[in-house]
Structure 1
Amino acid sequence: MTGERLRFDGWIAGVGTSSGTRLVIGHWPRSPFGAFSDVMVEHPDGERVLLAPSRRIADFVAATYRFDRIEVVPVSVTAVAPAGGSAWLVEAGPLRLRLRTGRRTALGLLLSTVPAPFARSPVWAALCDVPARLLMPGVRTLGRAGPGRREWYGARGLRPVVAAEAVLDGVSLGALAPLDPPVAFGFGSAPRSPSLVRVTTTVELTPAGR
């Protein structure tokens, strides 16, 4: 039985830092909640923190992923285009992150050719799941989310993150680094190599999960 499907269209950025703190930023211009951004933080000791812009969004995200602590704070993502690339400025409560991306990879160019309706399909996510796991350990494109929820990702573009500066609670998190170990918010991690992924995410609610 097919449940209600909620689609989030936007970008996911994943970066590691030399301090061991890993960050996953979701920027969703189109979603059932309107435009919003959120940040997932995993500290070196494994503590997982959600920074969300409203209680309603925090409750939904926390029912889909796993966190040890939730903070409702202003969250903004500003995209800028300096010479030679594109950049984001992320401000989320105690976090300030500036990142810069490089040119699209060969895989990114290939993903950009996927038609949007096909990228939303769970069939496409299932086809991509095995090669994604083989090429990018820790990455999954579909699986079980929170209780009564199924989720799948349809990637439509990929750029490497080539530079990042992050400050959390007034302390620098250090240099850009891989997401290692993988983050543990849900059934899969963001890619190990810092990346910005253009994606359509679908969360399907079964009757018990509504």
Structure 2
Amino acid sequence: MDKRWIFDGHIAGIGTASGLRAVVGLWQGSPFGPFADAMVELPSGRRILLAPTAEVADFVAAVYNFDEIRVVDIGVQHAGGALTLDAGHLQLRAALGARTALGMAARLIPRALAVHPRWLQAISPLAARLSPGVRTAGTAGGGRREYYGVTDLHRIDAATVSWDGIDAGALAAVRPAVGFGFSSVPPQPGIARVRTTVEGHPVTLR
């Protein structure tokens, strides 16, 4: 029997001059309780998941594609126009900016509609035209279906990022698009308010 998992929170997407790209999930509501995770694509193309528990790692790895999975302590703060993340190998400090034009448009859509899978399936082609690499509906791992309902979006204006203690360089566009799943984050670094819905076969957890 199909199952549905819902995650409410934020997704931040950041690129760097070195070519390292990171997608950070800040989940205030989820089947696993509040948590944060990070997906990192190194300049070599190697995709690494940083997860706070084995249970979260098992679920995320069943939905997305990675070359390596690491369970690490993750500390995160998102307040006062700043985002900070300490995730072992990945250190991030970001200054958040103004709401984008897409964020303003998203706020005009009633939330119940904006996060509904049928709506997200219908608008996915439009989302791809407005923001290259972005999809709002698609197929996830194991033939599951996944939907991203964005209700707000702010720029990231500045950031310092390091990987294994080495500075990853200045903030840059998320290019090439990340390859963890069917959708990338927008090319412009930003943080989105989002509801992610995953539907399909149950995931086996440790």
TM over 0.5: yes
- Give the partner amino acid of 2:139: R
Identity of aligned residues (%): 49
Q: Does structure 1 residue 161 correspond to structure 2 residue 156?
A: yes
1:6: which partner in 2? 5
Report if aligned partners of 2:12, 2:192 keep a CA contact under 8 Å in 1: yes
TM-score of the superposition, structure 2-length normalised?
Answer: 0.95
In structure 2, C-alpha distance between the alignment counterparts of 1:93 and 1:40, rounded to whole Å: 13
User: Which stretch has the larger CA shift, 101-110 or 37-46?
Assistant: 101-110
Report if aligned partners of 2:148, 2:197 keep a CA contact under 8 Å in 1: yes
Q: How far is the alpha carbon of 1:184 from its aligned partner? A: 0.2
In structure 2, C-alpha distance between the alignment counterparts of 1:52 and 1:41, rounded to whole Å: 11
Aligned residues: 204
Q: How far is the alpha carbon of 1:206 from its aligned partner? A: 3.3
Q: Does structure 1 residue 204 correspond to structure 2 residue 203?
A: no
Q: How far is the alpha carbon of 1:126 from its aligned partner? A: 1.6
2:188: which partner in 1? 193
- Give the partner amino acid of 1:206: H
In structure 2, C-alpha distance between the alignment counterparts of 1:198 and 1:5, rounded to whole Å: 20
Q: Does structure 1 residue 99 correspond to structure 2 residue 98?
A: no
Q: Secondary structure at the match of 2:27?
A: strand
Q: How far is the alpha carbon of 1:70 from its aligned partner? A: 0.4
Q: How far is the alpha carbon of 1:15 from its aligned partner? A: 0.5
2:37: which partner in 1? 38
2:68: which partner in 1? 69
Q: Mind listing any 5+ residue stretches in structure 2 that lack a counterpart?
A: none
Q: Mind listing any 5+ residue stretches in structure 1 that lack a counterpart?
A: none
Counterparts of 1:57-206 in structure 2, within 5 Å, are 57-81=56-80, 86-206=81-201
Question: CA, structure 1 residues 148+130, in 2 after alignment: closer, same or farther (shift >3 Å)?
Answer: closer
Q: How far is the alpha carbon of 1:26 from its aligned partner? A: 0.4
- Give the partner amino acid of 1:62: A
Q: Secondary structure at the match of 2:120?
A: helix
CA RMSD of the aligned region, Å?
Answer: 1.4
